[in-house]
Amino acid sequence: MEYVFTATETGTPSGNEAEAKALLHMLDATEDGIELFAVDCFNDVTGMDNPCFVLHDAQSKAEKNISPAKLGRYLVTLLENHLSEFSQFFDSLTLFVGGVSKTVLQNPELVEFGFHDIEECKKRKNGIDDNLLSEDNINDFLSKVHFVIFRENREDYIKPLVRTSAPIMPDSKKLKRIFTEIRDKQSALKNRAGIAGKRITHPDRVIDLGRVVKRRDIELLVIQRILNRDFLRDDTPKSFIH
């Protein structure tokens, strides 16, 4: 059993923000047991438990007003992981997007939903073996994919991590600065030397590639920033020093 990493992407401002929101969305899902995040390895971001036996894979697209065809196209990397030799490790598959066109949803108020159009994925199979693109495999994949529309405000991704009462909740400006600090750390990991062509035989070997951030380090950063409040003078946690 072996997993081969494909080409990594160069970060963009909108893309980096989208990926940070995807990470923080998963971090808030405490019931999933996510303790580690692999950045730009299996996908844009992949949440993992400590032994790396359970992976929560996420692809993110900052684009808004995405059509059904594009949604299908953006599922490709999730589909590749679902059909890879590491398929048994991928417990959840999520596509985060900035927004979808009116033709996608009957209820435009939904921010999380499922999807059953895979035609563009079939056209853009990116080397996936034809034998794996059976109707059963596609239907199984679609039943597992979850779609999430990003919240617009950065501070909405930090508030759940603060877990404090409203009277002492930091103001919006300070919450945004915490988000920016986490985003910049994630971007720095993404921009390290490429890993295209590297092979691993178990998900935990991804840690050796230097693109993993720990949940506890993110939570520690938030706690320090909330307690100390002084963003200019306070020390940054060692794990967040590039």
**pLDDT tens column, 74-102:** 888 999 999 899 999 999 999 999 988 87
Looking at residue 103, its amino acid is T
Residues in CB range of 155: below 8 A, 6 or more apart: 172, 175, 176, 179
200 membership: H or E segment, kind and range: strand 199-200
Share of the chain above pLDDT 90, in %: 50
pLDDT for 13 equals: 87
